[in-house]
Amino acid sequence: MRQELERKRLSLRVLLETAQELSGILQPRKIMETFLLTAMGPLGAMRGVAVLARPAGCEGMILSRGLPPAEAEALEQRLPDICDAYFPYRDLDADFRSSKIRVIRRDQTQVDSLLPRGMDILLCFNVDEDHCGLLALGPLLSRDEASPDAGRDSALEADASTLLHSLVHLLIGALRGALAVNSIRQLSVDLGRKNDRLTESLASSQSIQRGLDRRVHQLAATNELAGELAHLREVQAILDSFLLTMLGAFSVSCGLVLLLDRAERHVDLAVRGAPDTGLSGFGAADALVYKAFTASRVHSVEPLTVEPINAPALALAGSGLPFDCGCAVYFALDNEVQGVLALGATLSGEALEAEDVQMVRAQVGTLLGYVLGARHLATITALNNGLQRRNEELTRTVNELTEARQTIALLERAGERVRSFLHAEALRSKRFSWLDCGVILVAAVLLGFLFNLASPGGVPLVPEHLRRSPAQTVTAQKARELQQSEGALMVDARPQAFFDQRHVRGAANLTPALFDMVYLMRFAQVPLSTPLIIYGSNISRRWDEDVAAKLLAREHERVLVLEDGLPAWVARGYPVEP
């Protein structure tokens, strides 16, 4: 009993010392070394091997004590095999608890060759979810060397077994603590590292943020530029607005954008923050653009080419730029229209970054689009104006043609009428026409009457005797009586030819035409009271009435006109002559 108590006291003492030894150690290797050193003595083992491994990764550490160095080194080389041999259960036995200690008999192992000979005590234990441990001890000093087969069960006594288990528990606890501490330390290190990374990331993100802010500012300026350029129609205005926006977007104090049209020998130039040094002239502008072209390393001028110029200050030196060039871009619309964008130093004095240069390049590309659009618009406007002018001319021509057509139609109608008239006239000229007869007769009558009105020797239309009261008449018988009784004179008023042909015997021929002369010759001495009997009339003329009127005008008192004239006289049988 006392011996038993002594053994227990010893065991407890060993446990206490072991616990004390292990309590301050934080390194698993140190713990295992200390454990082997502490546990081998009380257990009476001459050699000991402790393995701490992570079966999942087949890694770990092997510590040995009491082994020759070569064997210990060879043992360390066999760690993966040991893991495969002694810790397969982690994959098979899901119920294996972390604190369970498995005692393995040597005859249970199929790989005795992995461990040195004489390791009678094999203990497998689980430290935590990841780590497993193996403890091999032996041979024990208390074992009878002479009879090794006396009984393996007795190789380890119950107390010793209990002590061993307790020690292993202590080992497990110490290892867990150490591993936990190591894990915490590792976590702390990782945390610090991550913290450093976070700090770096924060700085980087702040830098990126600044860059993004700049980009946002540039993009906002670009957006505004797009809005402004969309309303501009002239190249010069587009260049001015573009340059102003570029200076603001990239915080540049001065800049220049030049567009050269070689075909029309025209230069569009926008300069800000610097004086114009004559680049608006074609020669200087051409030289600058050529220098920019050569510096841009563009091999051929393709439409819508945009190419930054490396080291622009050096490349464009002496080309008339009024400032030190910090960034320059050569661009070309086509073979004839090319240009240069040159920006001076930034307000902060820093050079533009590569991304900024690319942004400038993109903006110049946008500018080209608007300039192209403006030039196309100008071309379209010119064409449109030309078309409008032509349209007006065409409209005028159409109107003139319409008027001409109307005139032609009118003339055709007139011509047709003239033709039909001429036809009718031609036909009329070939045949007898009552109308022509009427026209000729009317014309003759009118001309005759008009000429008579104008002529001083005109004749009255109505015979004069019809406008006078007729003279007193006398019958042939009475006339004969008057001739015989009162010596009345017979007067023949007819023309002389009629008189000569036949007349009343003793009659005198007194015609109206020769009245004055004949009257003076033959009737001047006739008394005014002598009866004068006048005859001579026909269907056309009343000569007797005319002569009677003239005689009455001479104040003859008895002027008588013979009724029915000479025929009545002849009918009475009165004398006539010849």
2-23 helix and 158-231 helix, angle to the nearest 10 degrees: 20
- Cβ at position 501, least distance to another protein in Å: 5
C-beta of 189 vs 437, nearer to another protein: 437
CB atoms within 10 A of CB 448: 10
Six token digits for residue 289: 């653009």
C-beta of 498 vs 574, nearer to another protein: 498
Is 516 among the residues that bind another protein (CB under 8 A)?
no
Q: Are 156 and 140 in contact (CB under 8 A)?
A: yes
Question: What is the Cα–Cα distance from 453 to 458, expressed in whole angstroms?
Answer: 7
- Cβ at position 497, least distance to another protein in Å: 4
C-beta of 450 vs 528, nearer to another protein: 450
- Cβ at position 461, least distance to another protein in Å: 5
Q: Please report, for residues 268, 304, 315, 337, 568, the alpha-carbon distance to residue 286 in angstroms, rounded to integers and kept in the order given.
A: 12, 18, 15, 11, 136
C-beta of 3 vs 455, nearer to another protein: 455
Q: Are 279 and 256 in contact (CB under 8 A)?
A: yes
- Cβ at position 542, least distance to another protein in Å: 7
* End-to-end CA, the chain: 240
Question: What is the Cα–Cα distance from 233 to 80, expressed in whole angstroms?
Answer: 81
- Cβ at position 505, least distance to another protein in Å: 18
SS3 category, 544: helix
Residue from 463, 518, 564, 576 that binds another protein (CB under 8 A)?
Answer: 463
C-beta of 446 vs 553, nearer to another protein: 446
Is 469 among the residues that bind another protein (CB under 8 A)?
no
Q: Which of 471, 449, 447 is nearest to 462 (CA)?
A: 449
C-beta of 97 vs 431, nearer to another protein: 431
Window 306 to 325, contacts with another protein (CB under 8 A):
none
Window 355 to 414, contacts with another protein (CB under 8 A):
none
Is 415 among the residues that bind another protein (CB under 8 A)?
yes
Window 128 to 187, contacts with another protein (CB under 8 A):
none
C-beta of 272 vs 541, nearer to another protein: 541
- Cβ at position 466, least distance to another protein in Å: 8
- Cβ at position 437, least distance to another protein in Å: 6
Q: Which stretch binds another protein (CB under 8 A): 20-28, 289-297, 460-468, 525-533?
A: 460-468
Six token digits for residue 226: 């797009």
Q: Classify residue 522 as exposed, middle or buried by CB count within 10 Å of its CB (0-12, 13-18, 19+).
A: middle
Task: Give the x/- contact pattern for another protein in 420-459, rule: CB under 8 A.
Answer: --xx-xx-xxxxxx--xx--xx-xxx-xxx-xx--x-xxx
SS3 category, 282: helix
Q: Taking the CA atoms of 29, 33, 34 and 35 in sequence, report the sign of the dihedral they define.
A: positive
Question: What is the Cα–Cα distance from 443 to 430, expressed in whole angstroms?
Answer: 21
Is 461 among the residues that bind another protein (CB under 8 A)?
yes
- Cβ at position 477, least distance to another protein in Å: 26
CB atoms within 10 A of CB 420: 10
Residue at 36: amino acid letter: L
- Cβ at position 555, least distance to another protein in Å: 26
- Cβ at position 554, least distance to another protein in Å: 22
Give the CA angle between residues 238, 242, 245 to the nearest 5°. 145
C-beta of 314 vs 422, nearer to another protein: 422
Distance, C-alpha 481 to centroid of its chain: 135
Is 576 among the residues that bind another protein (CB under 8 A)?
no
Residue from 10, 466, 528, 553 that binds another protein (CB under 8 A)?
Answer: 466
Is 500 among the residues that bind another protein (CB under 8 A)?
yes
Beta strands 121-126; 101-104: pairing state? antiparallel
- Cβ at position 500, least distance to another protein in Å: 7
Q: How many residues bind another protein, per CB under 8 A?
A: 44
235-249 helix and 158-231 helix, angle to the nearest 10 degrees: 150
Q: Which stretch binds another protein (CB under 8 A): 296-304, 419-427, 522-530, 559-567?
A: 419-427
Question: What is the Cα–Cα distance from 83 to 134, expressed in whole angstroms?
Answer: 9
Is 416 among the residues that bind another protein (CB under 8 A)?
no
C-beta of 355 vs 436, nearer to another protein: 436
Q: Which stretch binds another protein (CB under 8 A): 188-196, 403-411, 461-469, 523-531?
A: 461-469
- Cβ at position 572, least distance to another protein in Å: 21
Six token digits for residue 526: 């006739």
Window 540 to 569, contacts with another protein (CB under 8 A):
540-542
Question: What is the Cα–Cα distance from 295 to 315, expressed in whole angstroms?
Answer: 6
DSSP of 143-207: S-SS-TTS-SGGGS-HHHHHHHHHHHHHHHHHHHHHHHHHHHHHHHHHHHHHHHHHHHHHHHHHH
Question: What is the Cα–Cα distance from 369 to 407, expressed in whole angstroms?
Answer: 54
Question: What is the Cα–Cα distance from 561 to 476, expressed in whole angstroms?
Answer: 10
Residue from 89, 290, 498, 574 that binds another protein (CB under 8 A)?
Answer: 498
C-beta of 149 vs 577, nearer to another protein: 577
Place of tokens 């379209």: 380
- Cβ at position 415, least distance to another protein in Å: 7
- Cβ at position 499, least distance to another protein in Å: 9
The site for another protein (CB under 8 A) is made up of 415, 419, 422-423, 425-426, 428-433, 436-437, 440-441, 443-445, 447-449, 451-452, 455, 457-463, 466, 495, 497-498, 500-501, 513, 538-542
